[in-house]
Amino acid sequence: MPGTEEIAEEPAPMMSTFDLFLLSALIGFVVYWFFFRKDEKPNDEEFKRLSVVQPTLNRSESEDSGIVFRMKKSGRSIAIFYGSQTGTAEEFATRLAKDAQRYGMKALAVDPEECNMEELAELHQIENSLAIFCMATYGEGDPTDNAQDFYDWLQQGDTQLDGLKFAVFGLGNKTYEHYNSTGIYVDKRLEELGAERVYEIGLGDDDTNIEEDFVTWKEGLWPTVCEKFGIEVSKQEGSFRSYSFTKYEPDDIDEKTVYSGEVARLHSYKNQRPPYDAKNPYLSPVLVNRELHKGGGRSCMHIEFDITDTKIRYEAGDHVAVYPTNDVTMVEKIAKRLDVDLDTFFTLDAIDEDASKRHPFPCPTTFRTALLHYLDISSPLRTNVLSEFVEYTSDEKDKEFLTLLSSPTPEGKKKYQEWVMDARRNLLAILDDVPSCNPAMDHICELLPHLQARYYSIASSPKMHPTSIHICAVLVEYDTSSGRTNLGVATNWLKTKIPVPGSEAFVQPRVPIYVRKSQFRLPFKVSHPVMMVGPGTGLAPFIGFIQDRAYHKEAGKDVGKTTLYFGCRKREEDFIYEEHLTKWKEDDVLTELKIAFSRDGPKKVYVQHLLAENKQSVWENIQNHGHIYVCGDARHMAREVHDAIVDIVVECGGKSQQQATDFVKGLMNKGRYSADVWS
């Protein structure tokens, strides 16, 4: 066309880019197939080598390692399963196994996490078989970590358990809303699946005297079991040891094989490696340990743990577990009282080769390490321990007294409650007050419960503090009716962990920790309003929550209304984090800050009173898809806050008392009313 520039057309290439890609892939595959691929069929020599190797089977998948096989092999008829978070349910299971032995039966204490619970359907193959469940309820009515899979199996499975005979003891606390819900569910569900209940469920209340509840229940259990199976009821008295004691001379043991306080893996504190958890805690440097109270004679610590380069992750609302060390002075007094060399090397080995635990705690070790790191020496002694102490007592009056304390009679229970529980008599107090009692230290190591980790609400947000975890903790110290002063194990140990920067000889104190995930979470949408109620150290998780909201606000997000109800005794004494709260209020991070000072005015004012005074604001929060969070004392505060909110729903929502109660329960079920409480 005239006036139009003619464009020359380039010849089309012989192969496109896509064709070249396909050709390359084909050539690569051919090279791999003929030169690099290993023939799946072994040659003769390989076949000979392979044919003599036994296949490795998962423990739960191997018929020769299942719970039923183990019980048949060892002549046992009773399996005692425990769902334990703090060790009490496991301790009770071990005691029941010993009781079975006293009645002429053989039992095995079993962690449900370590076996295939579908084998319950086969347990009836064993003559006179029985399954006992010691099930603790944890958190907001949840099963313990080690019983979660079993609980899920019960919920989702439909395996018929015809022929299975069972009994359940639940461990709970009446101050919590979902009292003993796990034990009650297991008891109910087993019956639904066709199992036969041999004895009524026992419900232990840790808010009063769970020891008495347990003893009363098991004293009725065993005669019923004996009658059911046609066994003559004849309880054998005396001591039944579960572990054999071996003492080592210093020259007979390699100290590199001796545990020095590690939770599980030998030398784990010297050679730290992630992931960090309950069996592998991180030895965290303490960055900050400062006093929060300004007076009044009490103490509250703010402590910061360094988690730099550890791969430890946490969220606001999670808990951090701290493994404490017992009081050195108390340990030395126990050793002096019993004339024991604390540096004695020893091991405790299970007498029963089929026992679920080879040792009661990491062994070999020393008496010093056992008393400092592994044994609970500060809690009141259980009745079974007092019963075992009788044979080590020389004075007849002392013998009679210990026998009474450990007796399941009404008189014995009353005396135990008054003299041991109410007076909080621990091991040292018992030894001091019963002078002719001199138990063997190795037996004490077998009898005492394990020293447990202490859990603290995390008082920081990873958005503000990604390399550290903060807590606040009140120093526990109180006088008992026996005239002694008892000290909280963890807080009195933590108070000594004070970093001293600038010192040439400075060794930064370290604390074993790990993070435990929580369901106590801020709403996914930051635009939703939140209302937090946390007097005292119940404020801890809300420091993290507010830091989280401040971070989003600074990032320009639409952050919803944020309200805090806090309470303490006096503004000038225990108003913790006052500067932070005041600044957040000034910066409008906190929309509302309501504080109850219970001892500053003519009458006591608590957070529940402030809720009632601000009922319209509370109701608007609920109406606007707000979330309510409560943290602190379960026995009084949490209940009264709950009742105050129900009353607000009645008054502002125009509902009846029952309708309001159901409405608040609905908020809980939807995750809009969450509580992180303790008793």
Residues annotated as catalytic (active site), given as ranges: 457, 631, 676, 678
3-state secondary structure labels for all residues of 565-626: EEEECCHHHHCCCHHHHHHHHHCCCCCEEEEEECCCCCCCCCHHHHHHHCHHHHHHHHHCCC
Task: Round to whole Å and give the CA distance between 293 and 297.
Answer: 9
CB 459 within 8 A of CB 541: yes
Which of 212, 257, 542, 602 is CA-nearest to residue 406?
212
User: Collapsing DSSP states into helix, strand and coil, what is residue 320?
Assistant: strand
Amino acid letter, residue 522: L
Name 107's bridge partners: 78
Which of 442, 557, 516, 384 is CA-nearest to residue 85?
516
Task: Round to whole Å and give the CA distance between 134 and 95.
Answer: 11
Amino acid letter, residue 576: I
CB 450 within 8 A of CB 441: no
DSSP letter string, 428-448: HHHHHHSTTB---HHHHHHHS
Task: Round to whole Å and give the CA distance between 149 and 145.
Answer: 8
Task: Round to whole Å and give the CA distance between 669 and 667.
Answer: 5
Amino acid letter, residue 3: G
CB 234 within 8 A of CB 228: no
Which H or E run contains 543?
A: helix 540-554
Give the up-direction half-sphere exposure of residue 376: CA atoms within 13 A in the CB hemisphere.
19
What is the CA angle 419-424-429, rounded to 5?
80
